[in-house]
Amino acid sequence: MSIFCSWSGGKDSTLALWHGLKMFGKVDYLFTMFSEDGIHSRAHGLTKELLQRQSSSIGIPLITKSSSWEQYENKFLEFLKESVNGGTGIFGDIDLEGHKEWVENICRAQNVTAVEPLWGRKREEVIKEFLDLGFKAKIISIKKELNIEKYLGIDLNYNLIEEFKNLGIDISGENGEYHTFVYAGPLFKGEVRFEVGEIIEREGVYALSLR
């Protein structure tokens, strides 16, 4: 049966994939949902080319679908039916009950088992494990309301964890406070190539344009 990982290209999906491979010995697909124009991913606003570079370096094929928010669930179900029916899905949620419930319900509809390797762990513990394993991730978006856009382009690191804690910012970004792009680490054959462009504003965040 097929096993897939819900893939954002960021730290939590990367760590979930790491644990999923340890649990099952294989993962057949990475799956990413894109906006309806197919240009940027819904989760982190990444291009398909960047996600494909991650996929190639990891050695697991990438499957994508494009959808409006209104059709998101239908498109997700379509993917499950086509590629994973009766298999397993790996997700990187930590403690957001609403999203976990959505994941379990949509997977159940196609007889897919939802696995959440990070679920219920302390947020700081999750980030420190990510760094301890040697993964490298760049901060690529930050909520405008936080007024900390100076952190854009910085690699996630131990000192940053303490700074975010002192600023009262969720260190895991579980509510979208910030997002990352993972470009190196034990899952990757080599560093993922990318260039950092200008800072852009979209949907309540400051984001780096990567290419």
Domains of the chain are: 3-115 (3.40.50.620), 135-210 (3.90.1490)
**pLDDT confidence bin for 60, thresholds 50/70/90:** very high
pTM of the predicted model as reported, rounded to 2 decimal places? 0.95
pLDDT at 174: 86
Instruction: Report how far Cα 73 is from the mean position of its chain's Cα atoms.
Output: 18
pLDDT at 202 over 90: no
- Would the pLDDT of 86 be above 90? yes
Q: In 3D, which of 192, 194, 191, 189 has the Cα closest to residue 58?
A: 189
175 pLDDT more than 90: no
Q: What is the pLDDT of residues 37-46, one digit of tens each?
A: 888 998 899 9
Going by C-alpha positions, the residue among 22, 175, 16, 19 that lies closest to residue 31 is: 16
